[in-house]
Structure 1
């Protein structure tokens, strides 16, 4: 009996040992397999480094390793201000320009649209005449009009003179103020048009400066109180320092480095592969929500669907606006009609209002730029009037998906346009709008299609678009 029990115990022990050995054989494989996603995640920064390293945008490997081995906070603490500045300034130029910056301390990055000049050497900026003095081993002068779209009419943009000088030839003015972070010089332009302001100033400013983590001083050329009133909160989220107005400052400032000009990608667009840090349009929208303290991130957070109707008072007006509002209310929308007023000029309040809406409706025009403040999942309905197809698509329709906004196009027919009465239903203006561009150019076409045209919506046709919009914003399982 004892012998039988011992044999059984020995057999059980051997089985148990086999199970343990088998488990030990399998365990390393299970651990390795389980770590694969983690290894993949850690490899992504290295992949980004590789792309930057091998595509002409070389930054020394030790700086990349130091950057990616730390969180943003610890990174700031482990390197000094000069290393931080040099690293981020170098990311604004590429290829041969980056090598020039590393060897000479000055380089200009020129693309199809924009011109950005960078210095990582100490500079002196005289705001009396907007001159930047850059120490160099050669003497040269570069004139930059610091506006993102260089193909625009730049006569109204105050030029910045960047003078590379030898110590033996030029003595720059003495410093009156000394700063510990680099300067970024840009212009607010001459526009009061929200599309051009967001497209050619605010978005490029984000592209150019976000990766500095607020460690810059902004110098705003062509300073306008109205611009600061609208966009001051955005500027405050990009720089932790007071914005300098050269028009009243009139003094000499010393900076450890500088950036003159802003980088531009495309109409209301951010190309993540061309922006330091790889930010997306969704990141930009999140940034805007933070700047203006917007409440709604997703349309599903809004209760009853709200529709904002942009009501124009001059051209491209809705001639049967009251009937349109009645239709919208009949379908179940809470309707907000917005006309040019103080609420639009107060961007802080207006962005809150836009952000509370599920649907934004308007004819082709700058007001549709406010799709930037819509919550994700909202709908933009653009009423495309005659002769505006290209602008409607490129400015607002094509840009909406990257913003997380569903785009619906309502293209009017000839009889819905007031031009059919003005020129005749069968005129080339109505039947072939492109002919106006071909024969008279943009100036003539603008005078006809943007400045003379209003619209009387076909409510039966428009109802279908509104029903589709309602279906999108009420389908919370999307």
Structure 2
């Protein structure tokens, strides 16, 4: 999209783990003692069963208290029938039980305020009820229906081996051609499959199915995990703030929110600085530690795995295709709750306070060169104006944006922060010279879907600093379509990288007036209904 990178390293540290599995296993070994006398044996059996049940209830209460805490390391509890293990795999499992995995991303409590808005409750996804041996065969992967991403869904005995980048479905014994066929796919789990530049650093995963008894490595932790897993990459263009949202954060919400925290995230190409930057999001999506798949020495086993995240379009959700009918409104509520932001609606501001406008001041390209004049013009129509370039940290800017009623900026990644605006706010996108209305669409539709009022201001040549660089008869003014016909790099170089904006405040004033009129009308309507 030709936007500024939004990446930045945060000094997050990772430490601490908790072993909840040992507690469960120790209680599960309680067995009733058998005595010769029938009456005594019966009494003891009933008593032992009672206390065994009581202990399990206590465990459930204790574990439920962790749900709202920082992510903790939790060993998978073996359930169901044990898979056969060769001696080498058993030895590896024993060794791994004694040391923490270097692939698990630990974290201290993030320094954030407690959520003022509760994250909206969701219906947890139903687990697979049809046994694997009874389900009719279908391809593991879909590489045709979605133009953005190839994705795979595996149910049954699924084994994930980070060391060799493989996700393998092992067929149940006795599976026939009706329910099983051997397959192998090469998948890059990042939603820009048509863009070679974005995909070149994304790790290839082998997704396959094999017959039972094929010699696959046994599960390191001794059994399968009933918690489903999602496998995805955080590489690609995620150093760009907009792409971080549209390529990972939004698809992750769309894919994983339905699990209500009961999902494990396995991240290929994991970038610790990037995970730290969006740590509150990951904490709100999953109750479990993230796994750095590339450094993971274990054989992790699951009953359900999805490789690749669900993605509809750039910065957009189609509720008709989304789990639980999710919409962009749901996404913005989730983001505000994840970052502990207090305002859900513009009318929640103090009655006496003037509407607040956040002016996004870009640092390098497409800058406002008359920022002070813009501030005076905004204040003249009734706004309180706040100017910020933003920082590499998400939380402070999210708090700033949520405290405002409107956001304005030249087309660029900074407008992504509209996700933190309260519902009913206003977005003003200033579109630079060069026929860039098509790229303005990245924010036009999504802002409306978020419950925001969208206003678009297209500058005239006199408002562009290109007039200081080229004569007015230059093709950059007379033939923008010719510039665009030479390709994206030509357009980017001419109109996105070399152009700043000098707003004509006389011409721009009606846009500001329309924005503040909308906000005043919303507040008046709320006050008229008796809801402040």
TM-score (norm 2): 0.69
1:307 aligns with 2:338: no
- Structure 1 residue 75: Cα displacement: 8.3
Counterpart position of 1:165: 210
Distance 2:480 2:320 in 1: 37
Matches within 5 A, 1:311-322: 311-322=361-372
Counterpart position of 2:126: 84
- Structure 1 residue 145: Cα displacement: 0.4
Counterpart position of 2:499: 453
How many residues are aligned here? 387
CA change 1:243–1:349 in 2 (3 A) is: same
Counterpart position of 2:415: 368
- Structure 1 residue 327: Cα displacement: 1.9
CA change 1:289–1:75 in 2 (3 A) is: closer
Distance 2:388 2:122 in 1: 46
Distance 1:377 1:432 in 2: 38
Counterpart position of 2:75: none
Counterpart position of 2:448: 401
CA change 1:329–1:113 in 2 (3 A) is: same
In structure 2, which of residues 178, 185, 188 is the aligned counterpart of residue 142 of structure 1?
185
Distance 2:508 2:147 in 1: 40
- Structure 1 residue 329: Cα displacement: 2.5
Does the 8 Å CA contact 1:318/1:455 hold for their aligned counterparts? yes
CA change 1:388–1:228 in 2 (3 A) is: farther
In structure 1, which of residues 102, 122, 127 is the aligned counterpart of residue 162 of structure 2?
127
- Structure 1 residue 474: Cα displacement: 1.7
Bigger mean CA deviation after superposition, 257-266 or 225-234: 225-234
Three-state SS of the structure 1 residue aligned to 2:375 is helix
Counterpart position of 1:279: 326
Three-state SS of the structure 2 residue aligned to 1:223 is coil
Does the 8 Å CA contact 2:465/2:500 hold for their aligned counterparts? yes
1:251 aligns with 2:294: no
- Structure 1 residue 112: Cα displacement: 2.2
In structure 2, which of residues 218, 225, 231 is the aligned counterpart of residue 174 of structure 1?
218
- Which consecutive unaligned segments of at least 5 residues does structure 1 have? 1-71, 77-82, 91-98
Does the 8 Å CA contact 2:123/2:260 hold for their aligned counterparts? no
1:334 aligns with 2:380: no
RMSD: 2.5
Distance 2:121 2:411 in 1: 44
Three-state SS of the structure 1 residue aligned to 2:423 is coil
Does the 8 Å CA contact 2:123/2:258 hold for their aligned counterparts? no
1:108 aligns with 2:152: no
Three-state SS of the structure 2 residue aligned to 1:85 is coil
Q: Deviations over 1:286-333 (max 9, x none)?
A: 111221111111111123211111111211111111211222223332
In structure 2, which of residues 229, 241, 250 is the aligned counterpart of residue 203 of structure 1?
250
Greater fraction of residues in helix: 1
Matches within 5 A, 1:58-77: none
Distance 1:207 1:74 in 2: 12
Does the 8 Å CA contact 1:101/1:118 hold for their aligned counterparts? no
**Bigger CA radius of gyration:** 1
Distance 1:337 1:205 in 2: 31
Three-state SS of the structure 2 residue aligned to 1:201 is helix
- Structure 1 residue 100: Cα displacement: 12
Matches within 5 A, 1:375-386: 375-386=422-433
- Structure 1 residue 431: Cα displacement: 3.0
- Structure 1 residue 382: Cα displacement: 0.8
- Structure 1 residue 452: Cα displacement: 0.7
Distance 1:113 1:446 in 2: 22
Does the 8 Å CA contact 1:319/1:455 hold for their aligned counterparts? yes
- Structure 1 residue 374: Cα displacement: 0.7
Counterpart position of 2:201: 156
Counterpart position of 2:100: none
Bigger mean CA deviation after superposition, 419-428 or 127-136: 419-428
CA change 1:297–1:437 in 2 (3 A) is: same
Does the 8 Å CA contact 1:415/1:425 hold for their aligned counterparts? no
Does the 8 Å CA contact 1:436/1:445 hold for their aligned counterparts? yes
- Structure 1 residue 349: Cα displacement: 2.1
Does the 8 Å CA contact 1:267/1:394 hold for their aligned counterparts? no
Distance 1:165 1:292 in 2: 43
Distance 2:293 2:435 in 1: 39
Q: Deviations over 1:431-465 (max 9, x none)?
A: 33222112x11111111111111111111111221
Counterpart position of 1:463: 509
Does the 8 Å CA contact 1:364/1:388 hold for their aligned counterparts? no
- Which consecutive unaligned segments of at least 5 residues does structure 2 have? 1-119, 172-179, 526-532
In structure 1, which of residues 325, 331, 344 is the aligned counterpart of residue 375 of structure 2?
325
